[in-house]
């Protein structure tokens, strides 16, 4: 059968979905146009070097402390009663064999099943923290042995006194250098590196689904959904991505006291991102990036034009571009005040902060061909160097900038595309490429998980391949599961992978 006929048949086999309400879609578009007109004023002002304050989806909503809705003070439990510090248990992580010979290609060091109910994983310093039997459990990095256990605070329990709703109630476990914070819709618990609960805090009933949590050096930032934003006569339809009104709550990381809480952007989407810059909280929604004062919650500036924070924040620069729009330039924006430092042609596909520079890999879709380019800029937006990059064969998968050693990067448009190894200090191209040999399996995704470390997901769904800038690699056999999102942490030669099922430690040799 001819290919065109086969394609038509394939299209006919696509399961039909109920059509949306065209009138509702049209009203949403009209509403966006009104918002866009509002923020376009801000965009012009920003382009002129000024700061636009609070003109888009945040509007002039005042900062609304909701202390009255909160319990009077965070709870600081008796550490002796709540924390069990245990002797290292060599049997806690299976296959934890001391002196295991890993040559020539690395080996699995230990593996620990994760609770089916709580497949969450956090980190404090370089040690993993998991949830088991309604306890937070800190593990030894090298052996997987249990270091400490701490009971979950009552503040995290449902108001009616029911069982802890994890993860069914939607919870997030986020780690930092010295502490890990567990948040669910009911409360917050902060535990330090020794397993001591520093404070717990009940959250006000306002806000239902937990959306994002950020643990900064000074604050715990919690974003929760309120309700979809519907225009008159709009009806919520299954599967439709309505913008969601959100509420942002910021607590002091030292004692859990409320700093501020306010209703946030009305157009939060699943892909919205959160970032921190000095004393600013940056949040993108479907219409704008908004910057709020971390201490007071007051709006500082916002960037309109449907910017996209997915390529994020690096070295004081926001790398933003409108998603889904062909041929729009990427803007490099000073995160301090929202002024545009420079514009670069194409769409940012990867960004890296290294050696005081911001490296951006750009894909530029020209009428006759798609070109790729790596650009390095100083924090003030000054161009340091730019180099053409050969295009990849598959533009869906895996353009990457890999930090090899803090001074050089490996840049490629895809796993099969020729790579450039560049000394970032002067933009000179090196001849050696420690990752020149790519795995023989087809790669569906790859990403950097630490300095010089790359994790690869082959399409056989059988596991992961970890490679490093010294040319070493190790393959991990572990099942993928629908919806799982592996997390990783590395320390020297030890690499940890966590997915829905288990935590796996492998050593590169």
Partner 1 sequence: MHDQEGFAAFYGRSCTQVHAAVAVTVGDHHLAADAVDEAFVRAAERWGQVAQMDRPAGWVYRVAVNWATSWRRKWSRRPTLPIAALERSQVDDLASVTLAEELAAVPLVQRQMLVLRFVLGYSVAETAAALGVAEGTVKSGVHRARQRLQGETEVSDAT
Distance separating alpha carbons of residues 96 and 108, to the nearest angstrom: 9
To partner 1, the closest distance from the beta carbon of 236 in angstroms equals 13
Pick one of 39, 377, 457, 490: the residue that binds partner 1 (CB under 8 A). 457
Nearer to partner 1, 7 or 205 (CB): 7
Q: Is 327 in the site for partner 1 (CB under 8 A)?
A: yes
Distance separating alpha carbons of residues 144 and 142, to the nearest angstrom: 6
CB atoms within 10 A of CB 480: 16
To partner 1, the closest distance from the beta carbon of 29 in angstroms equals 2
Residues 295-324 as x/- pattern, contact with partner 1 by CB under 8 A: -------------x-x------------xx
Q: Is 104 in the site for partner 1 (CB under 8 A)?
A: no
Q: Is 14 in the site for partner 1 (CB under 8 A)?
A: yes
Are 273 and 289 in contact, with CB atoms under 8 Å apart? Answer: no
Q: Is 236 in the site for partner 1 (CB under 8 A)?
A: no
Pick one of 86, 230, 295, 444: the residue that binds partner 1 (CB under 8 A). 444
Nearer to partner 1, 72 or 326 (CB): 326
Total residue count of the chain as it appears in this document = 509
Distance separating alpha carbons of residues 196 and 82, to the nearest angstrom: 8
Nearer to partner 1, 27 or 451 (CB): 27
Give how many residues touch partner 1 by CB under 8 A.
60
Q: 324: buried, middle or exposed (CB in 10 Å: 19+, 13-18, 0-12)?
A: exposed
Q: Is 49 in the site for partner 1 (CB under 8 A)?
A: no
First-to-last CA distance in the chain?
Answer: 52
Q: Is 370 in the site for partner 1 (CB under 8 A)?
A: yes
Distance separating alpha carbons of residues 313 and 291, to the nearest angstrom: 12
Pick one of 78, 80, 232, 396: the residue that binds partner 1 (CB under 8 A). 396
Question: How is 346-400 classified by DSSP, letter by letter?
Answer: SEEEEEEEETTEEEEEEEEE-SS-EEEEEEEE-TTS-EEEEEEEPPPS-TTS--E
Q: Token match 């994002």: residue?
A: 212
Which one of the spans 85-93, 183-191, 249-257, 480-488 is the region binding partner 1 (CB under 8 A)?
Answer: 480-488
Pick one of 153, 187, 256, 486: the residue that binds partner 1 (CB under 8 A). 486
Q: Is 103 in the site for partner 1 (CB under 8 A)?
A: no
Chain centroid, CA 9 distance in Å: 39
Are 121 and 487 in contact, with CB atoms under 8 Å apart? Answer: yes
Contacts with partner 1 by CB under 8 A lie at 1, 3-4, 6-17, 19-20, 22-23, 25-30, 32-33, 36, 239-241, 270-271, 308, 310, 323-327, 365, 367-370, 393-397, 442, 444-445, 447, 457, 459, 461, 480, 485-486
């Amino acid at each position: 059968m001819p290919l065109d006929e086969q394609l038509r048949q394939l299209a006919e086999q696509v399961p039909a979905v109920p059509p949306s309400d065209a009138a509702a879609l049209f009203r949403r578009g009209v509403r966006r146009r009104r918002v866009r007109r509002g923020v376009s004023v801000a965009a012009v002002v920003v382009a002129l070097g000024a700061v636009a304050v609070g003109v888009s989806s945040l509007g002039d909503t005042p900062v609304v402390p909701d202390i009255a809705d909160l319990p009077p003070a965070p709870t600081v439990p008796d550490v002796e009663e709540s924390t069990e510090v245990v002797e290292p248990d060599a049997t806690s992580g299976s296959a934890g064999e001391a002196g295991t010979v890993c040559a020539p290609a690395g080996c699995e060091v230990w593996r620990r099943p994760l609770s089916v109910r709580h497949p969450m994983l956090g980190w404090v310093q370089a040690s993993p923290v998991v949830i088991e039997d309604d306890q937070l459990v800190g593990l030894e990095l090298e052996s997987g042995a249990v270091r400490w256990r701490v009971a979950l605070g009552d503040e995290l329990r449902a108001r009616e006194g029911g069982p802890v709703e994890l993860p069914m109630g939607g919870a997030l476990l986020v780690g930092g250098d010295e502490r890990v914070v567990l948040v669910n819709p009911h409360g917050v618990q902060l535990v330090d590196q020794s397993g001591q609960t520093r404070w717990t805090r009940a959250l006000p009933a306002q806000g239902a689904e937990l959306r994002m949590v950020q643990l900064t050096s000074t604050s715990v930032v919690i974003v929760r959904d309120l309700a979809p934003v519907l225009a008159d006569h709009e009806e919520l339809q299954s599967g439709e991505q309505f913008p969601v009104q959100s509420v942002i709550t910021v607590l002091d990381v030292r004692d859990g006291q409320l700093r501020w809480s306010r209703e946030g952007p009305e157009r939060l989407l699943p892909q919205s991102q959160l970032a921190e810059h000095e004393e600013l909280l940056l949040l993108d929604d479907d219409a704008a990036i908004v910057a709020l004062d971390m201490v007071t919650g007051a709006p500082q500036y916002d960037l309109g034009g449907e910017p996209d924070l997915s390529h994020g924040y690096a070295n004081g620069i926001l790398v933003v571009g409108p998603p889904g729009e062909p041929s729009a330039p990427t803007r490099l924006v000073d995160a301090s005040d929202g002024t545009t430092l420079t514009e670069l042609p194409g769409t940012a596909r990867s960004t890296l902060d290294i050696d005081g520079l911001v490296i951006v890999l750009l894909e530029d879709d020209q009428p006759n061909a798609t070109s790729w380019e790596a650009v390095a800029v100083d924090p003030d937006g000054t161009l340091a160097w730019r180099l053409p990059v050969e295009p990849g064969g598959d533009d869906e998968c895996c353009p990457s900038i890999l930090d090899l050693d803090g001074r050089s990067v490996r840049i490629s448009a895809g796993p099969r595309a020729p790579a450039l190894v560049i000394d970032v200090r002067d933009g000179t191209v090196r001849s050696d490429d420690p990752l020149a040999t790519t795995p023989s399996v087809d790669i569906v995704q790859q990403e950097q998980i630490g300095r010089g470390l790359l994790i690869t997901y082959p399409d056989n769904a059988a596991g992961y391949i970890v490679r490093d800038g010294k040319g070493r690699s190790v393959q991990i056999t572990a099942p993928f599961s629908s919806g799982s999102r592996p997390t990783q942490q590395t320390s020297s030669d030890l690499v940890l992978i966590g997915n829905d099922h288990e935590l796996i430690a492998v050593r590169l040799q």
